[in-house]
């Protein structure tokens, strides 16, 4: 039986970090990330920046647009683009 690889590469660590920010990382991913962060200063910085960004977003209390609002914005943008294209062709 092959021994499971414990050390992960930086790209995998960044993915685990992102998943961890949204509570989507499983226990194995969290452990691998912690072991990687203990040895990789670049990924530690990435993780710290990611944590700061998450806290700022939570503090801002941002809300997502509903599907209806998004559709309204999309239509308004399309209309503006049509207007600007028709004015340019004159």
Q: What is the pLDDT of residues 2-16, one digit of tens each?
A: 445 567 899 999 999
Give me the phi and psi of 35, to 5 degrees please: -65, -40
Task: Say if CB 43 and CB 16 are below 8 A apart.
Answer: no
Residues 32-56, buried b or exposed e (16+ Cβ, 10 A)? bbeebbeebeebeebbeeeeeeeee
| Ordered DSSP codes for 43-58 | HHHHHHHHHHHHHHHH
Reported as a single tens digit per residue, the pLDDT across 35-71 is 999 999 999 999 999 999 989 988 998 888 899 999 9
- Per-residue pLDDT at 73 exceeds 90: yes
pLDDT above 60 for 19: yes
pLDDT the model gives residue 90 = 63
Q: How far apart are the C-alpha atoms of 81 and 90, rounded to whole Å?
A: 15
Please tell me the predicted confidence (pLDDT) of residue 34: 93
């Amino acid at each position: 039986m092959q021994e499971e690889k414990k050390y992960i590469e930086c790209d995998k660590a960044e993915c685990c970090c992102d998943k961890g920010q949204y509570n989507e990382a499983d226990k194995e991913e969290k452990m691998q990330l912690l072991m990687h962060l203990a040895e990789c200063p670049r990924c530690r910085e990435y993780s710290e920046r990611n944590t700061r960004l998450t806290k700022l977003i939570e503090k801002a209390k941002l809300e997502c647009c509903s599907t209806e609002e998004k559709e309204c914005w999309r239509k308004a943008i399309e209309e503006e683009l049509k207007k600007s294209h028709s004015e340019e062709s004159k």
